[in-house]
């Protein structure tokens, strides 16, 4: 009997601590009330990001596409992606003077227009550290492509969270 009280007390304590620090479970992303479709507008320079956003919208089961739906303008959110930007910042070098480590900075800017005419423009950066090894050029090239893909996925998730949380 005493063990069950201790277990109950521990469960209550853990619950209070996690709730007190602001932790909460994330649910599936949903669109604001009155919106049922997201139209992604992208240029040639943002095609990889557009593909990531559309793929992530499928994961969240949000109706979206790169084509506007006829007759759905009253419930469509339009998201215009600006050209993505990738910069590198030097973090460290080898004793030989060759670059050992970079910080990759992936910049995203977009404008979302809601059915009620409200418009927001947001920009943010996704950061990653990337270690370079001149002896393994091919492997590092593939790793860089994988890191960029992960950064685009993170940016897509962030875009979806931003447009979902606007009222």
Largest distance between two CA atoms of the chain:
68
Q: Which residues of 115-143 are buried (b: 16+ CB within 10 A; e: fewer)?
A: beeeeeeeeeebeeebebeeeeeeebeee
Tell me if 98 sits within 8 A of 134, measured CB to CB.
Answer: yes
Q: What percent of the chain has pLDDT over 90?
A: 44
Angle at 76 between CA 118 and CA 113, to 5 degrees: 30
Domain range annotation of the chain: 30-165
Task: Name the pLDDT band for 1 (thresholds 50, 70, 90).
Answer: low
Q: Is the pLDDT of residue 9 over 60?
A: yes
Rounded mean pLDDT of 99-114?
Answer: 91
81 within 8 A of 57, measured Cβ to Cβ: no
CA distance 40 to 61: 15
pLDDT for the residue numbered 53? 95
Rounded to two decimals, the pTM is: 0.76
Q: With a cut of 90, say whether residue 127 has pLDDT above it.
A: yes
What's the rounded mean pLDDT across residues 44-49? 83
CB 97 within 8 A of CB 81: no
Contacts of 131 by beta carbon, 8 Å cutoff, 6+ apart = 100, 101, 102
**Mean pLDDT of all residues in 56-76:** 87
pLDDT at 24: 47
What is the CATH T-level fold of the domain 30-165, as seen in this structure?
Answer: Double Stranded RNA Binding Domain (3.30.160)
Q: Are 66 and 51 in contact (CB under 8 A)?
A: no
CA distance 32 to 26: 16
Average pLDDT rounded to a whole number, residues 41-53 = 88
pLDDT at 160: 94
The mean per-residue pLDDT over the stretch 16-20 comes to: 67
């Amino acid at each position: 009997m005493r063990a069950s009280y201790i277990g109950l007390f521990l469960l209550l304590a853990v619950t209070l601590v996690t709730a007190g620090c602001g932790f909460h479970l994330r649910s599936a992303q949903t669109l604001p009330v009155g919106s049922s479709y997201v139209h992604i507008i992208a240029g040639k320079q943002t095609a990889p990001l557009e593909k990531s956003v559309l793929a992530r919208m499928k994961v969240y089961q949000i109706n979206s596409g790169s084509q506007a739906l006829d007759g759905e303008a009253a419930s469509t959110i339009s998201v215009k992606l600006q050209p993505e930007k990738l910069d590198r910042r030097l973090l460290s070098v080898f004793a030989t003077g060759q670059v050992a480590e970079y910080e990759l900075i992936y910049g995203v800017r977009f404008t979302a227009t809601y059915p009620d005419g409200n418009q927001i423009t947001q920009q943010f950066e996704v950061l990653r550290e990337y270690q370079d090894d001149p002896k393994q050029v091919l492997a590092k090239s593939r790793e860089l492509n994988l890191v960029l893909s992960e950064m685009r996925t993170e940016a897509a998730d962030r875009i979806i969270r931003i447009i979902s949380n606007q009222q």
